[in-house]
Structure 1
Amino acid sequence: MKKDSTLTQRIAGHQKKWYGQWHTWAGLISGLILSVVSITGTILVYERELDAWLNPDLFTFEQTAQTRLTLPQALEVVKADHPQMHIEVIYEDQFRNNCIMVAFEEGELHKQAIVNPFTGKITGSRVYADSAMGIIRSLHRTLLVPEIGKYIVGIASLVMVILMITGLRLWIPKKWNMLKTRLTIKSGASVKRQVYDLHNTLGFYFSPVITILALTGAAITFNRFLIIGLFLVSFEPPKSIESILGQQSTYDANNPIPMKVEEVMAIANREIEGGAVKGITLPHDSLGTYEMNIIAPGYAETGDRSLVYYDQYTGERLMSTHHDLPHLGKVYLNWVTPLHYGTFGGQVTRILALITTLVIPVLFISGVYVWYGRWKKSKKKAMQKKQKKQLDHA
């Protein structure tokens, strides 16, 4: 029995050594990236509110009418005032003073117009990527490195999950009577010990939330691959995958006039009982489709949200995430973004997400501090050993 216990301890010690090396080098390599992503993520928890606060000239409206304009009505007003504008998307934004947002093309630029929800008049337009919050969002998602940057961030997010797993393994005390020391910071101890305790305790208490943020961040990065994977694990036929990735309208030369937005919107409003269209993506060419973002009754941040694609000439439903996605796909669509930004539970979970994103750089800095102390100590020991060896041979 003693031999078995010794063997188990040896295996556990060897395992802990490897976990320690993975944890150290993964943290050193990806920690700086994760710190940048986390600090910008702190700001993005309240991105839309901060954007409205920073731009009062764009998002302050006087209520000049008793009722708000519908999306089709606002679209017609914008088209009449700006006939040269090629509109791509129009939607309601509840976090920016309930304005109506219009995404449009101007040359090679993708711009954003802010529309007064009572008059339909444009209060201003901009390239969002060039605004303060747009730059912070780009830094968060891509590190300001086009294309490849988002994959660097996505991989770093997966590394964060590895850091949480290895960190928890290293946190487990050898004996359960040592548990209290792992759950608290020892007062009156040296700075080095307090930093070590801070790293351990913060990592333990915040590991569930950090893991969720990291996994959802990676999911957003690798979104397309994940959706295909959800179909595969749900045993859906390949045809369903094709339909979700490439819907097209059937062009008929005998009937080349698209349906009006309000006509398709009326069809979409019947898609889910009591549902309402909150966003519309317009056809980009003769084969493009109407995409309707439909919100079910009682929708908060994680309610029943569906994307439905319609043939622009017939109004035929081509694909609906409500009907055609597997259950896992619908759960993913409704939860991944609210979980990542902490908006699923209102202000409480948003504040929790905000605090967690601040904890991540603290873990990096404290981890580097602990590692540097140990590295310096090991170097000193190696030097002393070398000097002793030289003296022995003198």
Structure 2
Amino acid sequence: MTQIERRQLWTAIHRYSGLFMLLFLAIAAATGCVLSFEKPLDAWLNPELFSCTTSRPIDPATAAGALERAHPELAATTFPVRAEPGRTVEVLVEPRGAQTLSFDQVFLDCRDGHVVGTRRTEAGWGRAHLMRGVYLLHYTLLAGDWGRWLMGVVALVWLLSNLVGVYLTWPLRRPWFRQWKRIWQFRRSSPLPRLLLDIHRASGLWLLLPLSVLAFTSVAMNFFSEAFLPAVQLLSPPRPSPFDGAPAGHKANPPAFPDLLRKAELLAARRQLTWQPAVYQREPVRGLSGLRFTPSGIEEYRALGPVTYWFDDATGTFVYEDSPYADSAGQALSRALFPLHTGQMIGWPGIVLDLILGLATLEMCGTALYLWLKRRPGRVSARKRERGKARSVRD
């Protein structure tokens, strides 16, 4: 196979792999752009659930405790340690015993803690469930595991296609770097087909590294339990944790929140963790209660994300530190996937970059489709001529 024939083969692979993933990639890019602002958009769509103003907000733990006393059929499993200004207190709940609930999220007034609204965290196209619907469309195409696996395959094809695209831009003749430099540029004065081709190639080259990271993290998260986690744990096993294995079904009552908070803060001080407690989380079926620490005291996923101290509900003793900073390299890589994919690893600059990558992916989908439609008639005519010549030779 000559160099020209090899280049033609990889061009065809790049073209048809792009056509295969074009629609799915466009959906992922568009929904990803929206999800860059998931929390602000959710609050804007549902002000009756999120908005609350007071100069002296209620303590979230006090509000959650009052909620459990007023509604003994539920247990508060997750709530913030401190109230955010201008926001209600968001509490995740589970039913107690054999009880059933029509919701799993409760919003409490920031002034006195009364319930202002509830909802179930499920996909839908009403205001209350729209952002969850966008998230599941992005992640699984609203098709469960089959959709998740399909999007994982699309991400893998995207990752490989990026590398093929770099190969196709590499010049055939010397001087290589001088000729390749032109591929990184485009001129607005060029005819439209040429301009769009140049934009398609240049944007792919300029954003190759972050786009490849985005594609890799997509593959890893979509096949997390099936492929990524087993491979990582085989190469770099994490420390044993009480979350290994099936839940034991403990029913012990959790320690009082002030005691848990005091123990967690003393433990953080001994381990020289200067972060602030941000979120209380309980796992009733495992008999564990934890406090999640972040640099700001508000839930966030900078760097590798939060550190959580877990305590046994029955004895109140410390049992496990969930920290990617003090565990294996494999655990650190696993915990890096979400902050990397969303851009939250470096805060707002990363989120803005994530938005730019989504828009660039939409641009590349659009330019690729235009170029395929523009050039398809010529390719069809050429194939017909070649078939005609082959028939005339046989005759």
TM-score tier (shorter)? 0.7 to 0.9
Distance 1:68 1:202, change over 3 A: same
Q: Residues 282 and 288 of structure 2 are in contact (CA less than 8 Å); yes or no, is this contact kept in structure 1?
A: yes
1:346-365 matches, within 5 Å, as: 346-365=347-366
- For residues 232 and 35 of structure 1, the distance between their equivalents in structure 2, rounded to whole angstroms, comes to 34
The reply to whether residue 208 of structure 1 matches residue 201 of structure 2 is: no
Compute the RMSD of aligned alpha carbons: 3.2
Equivalent residue number for residue 266 of structure 1: 262
Please list the CA deviations of residues 173-219 of structure 1 after superposition, one character each: whole Å capped at 9, or x if unmatched.
23433234312224443322222112111111122221122222333
The reply to whether residue 40 of structure 1 matches residue 31 of structure 2 is: yes
Q: Residues 275 and 297 of structure 2 are in contact (CA less than 8 Å); yes or no, is this contact kept in structure 1?
A: no
TM-aligned CA deviation for residue 140 of structure 1: 0.8
Point out which structure has higher relative CO (alpha carbons under 8 A, 6+ apart).
1
The reply to whether residue 101 of structure 1 matches residue 90 of structure 2 is: yes
- For residues 124 and 24 of structure 1, the distance between their equivalents in structure 2, rounded to whole angstroms, comes to 50
- For residues 263 and 163 of structure 2, the distance between their equivalents in structure 1, rounded to whole angstroms, comes to 48
Deviates more, 1:40-49 or 1:356-365: 356-365
Q: Residues 250 and 313 of structure 1 are in contact (CA less than 8 Å); yes or no, is this contact kept in structure 2?
A: no
SS at match of 1:185: coil
Equivalent residue number for residue 318 of structure 1: 319
Equivalent residue number for residue 371 of structure 2: 370
Identity of aligned residues (%): 20
Task: Give the number of equivalent residue pairs.
Answer: 375
Q: Residues 161 and 214 of structure 1 are in contact (CA less than 8 Å); yes or no, is this contact kept in structure 2?
A: yes
TM-aligned CA deviation for residue 14 of structure 1: 5.2
Please list the CA deviations of residues 87-141 of structure 1 after superposition, one character each: whole Å capped at 9, or x if unmatched.
3322369889554321224636552112234432222111232312111111111
Please list the CA deviations of residues 216-245 of structure 1 after superposition, one character each: whole Å capped at 9, or x if unmatched.
233333334534443332255xxx456443
- For residues 209 and 167 of structure 1, the distance between their equivalents in structure 2, rounded to whole angstroms, comes to 15
Equivalent of 2:71, from 73, 82, 91? 82
TM-score, normalised to structure 2, is 0.82
Please list the CA deviations of residues 345-378 of structure 1 after superposition, one character each: whole Å capped at 9, or x if unmatched.
3333322211210111221222233234443222
SS at match of 2:142: coil
Q: Residues 290 and 310 of structure 2 are in contact (CA less than 8 Å); yes or no, is this contact kept in structure 1?
A: yes
TM-aligned CA deviation for residue 63 of structure 1: 1.0
TM-aligned CA deviation for residue 157 of structure 1: 1.8
Equivalent residue number for residue 3 of structure 1: none
Distance 1:386 1:223, change over 3 A: closer
- For residues 217 and 361 of structure 1, the distance between their equivalents in structure 2, rounded to whole angstroms, comes to 16
Equivalent residue number for residue 170 of structure 1: 168
Q: Residues 52 and 97 of structure 1 are in contact (CA less than 8 Å); yes or no, is this contact kept in structure 2?
A: no
Q: Residues 101 and 112 of structure 1 are in contact (CA less than 8 Å); yes or no, is this contact kept in structure 2?
A: yes
- For residues 207 and 343 of structure 1, the distance between their equivalents in structure 2, rounded to whole angstroms, comes to 19
TM-score, normalised to structure 1, is 0.82
- For residues 86 and 213 of structure 2, the distance between their equivalents in structure 1, rounded to whole angstroms, comes to 29
Q: Residues 81 and 280 of structure 2 are in contact (CA less than 8 Å); yes or no, is this contact kept in structure 1?
A: no
- For residues 51 and 204 of structure 1, the distance between their equivalents in structure 2, rounded to whole angstroms, comes to 34
Q: Residues 35 and 364 of structure 1 are in contact (CA less than 8 Å); yes or no, is this contact kept in structure 2?
A: yes
1:181-330 matches, within 5 Å, as: 181-224=182-225, 225-234=227-236, 240=239, 243-246=242-245, 257-273=253-269, 274-285=274-285, 287-296=286-295, 301-303=301-303, 305-322=306-323, 325-330=327-332
5+ long unaligned stretches in structure 2: none
Equivalent of 2:120, from 124, 127, 134? 127
SS at match of 1:271: helix
- For residues 361 and 196 of structure 1, the distance between their equivalents in structure 2, rounded to whole angstroms, comes to 14
- For residues 57 and 137 of structure 1, the distance between their equivalents in structure 2, rounded to whole angstroms, comes to 21
Distance 1:297 1:245, change over 3 A: same
- For residues 199 and 347 of structure 2, the distance between their equivalents in structure 1, rounded to whole angstroms, comes to 29
- For residues 243 and 234 of structure 1, the distance between their equivalents in structure 2, rounded to whole angstroms, comes to 18
* Counterpart AA for 2:43: A
Please list the CA deviations of residues 313-333 of structure 1 after superposition, one character each: whole Å capped at 9, or x if unmatched.
012333322386314423542
SS at match of 2:207: helix
